[in-house]
Amino acid sequence: MMKSGGILGKEVMGSGGWKIGKITELVFDENSWRIGSIEVVLDPEVAKEYEMKKLLSRTTINVDVSSVHAIGTHVILSITKPQLGEMISHKKDETPSGPPVA
């Protein structure tokens, strides 16, 4: 078993060994008390590559725990760069583009 402090801040790598970012949060399902996803702050270069770079704040994505392949000195995901691109494009689609309309 691993405590949350042992995983927070770990670097996250894609299946090809490329750096994605670092874990900032564990997201729990309050009904089952299981971790459903990990929140990953994207490496600035990755955020820039996928046009997600924000000027003054960090860019984060939630990754379902089923995508975690291994945990050691790094967290290795079983996703490829194109799959990450898909995840990010879904996040962009969900992000409101302006203030709410009254």
Residue with tokens 């990010």: 88
What is the predicted pLDDT for the residue at 97?
A: 47
Per-residue pLDDT tens digits for 71-100: 999 999 999 988 998 888 776 666 544 444
What is the predicted pLDDT for the residue at 101?
A: 43
- The CA distance from 69 to 83, in Å, is 14
The structure's pTM equals 0.81
Domain range spanning residue 62?
4-94
* CA within 13 Å, CB half, 59: 21
The CATH number of residue 67's host domain is: 2.30.30.240
Number of domains in the chain: 1
Residue 100 domain-assigned (yes or no)? no
* Average pLDDT score over the chain: 85
- The CA distance from 95 to 57, in Å, is 15
Query: Quick one: average pLDDT of 42-53?
Result: 86
Per-residue pLDDT tens digits for 4-17: 889 999 999 999 89
- The CA distance from 35 to 88, in Å, is 21
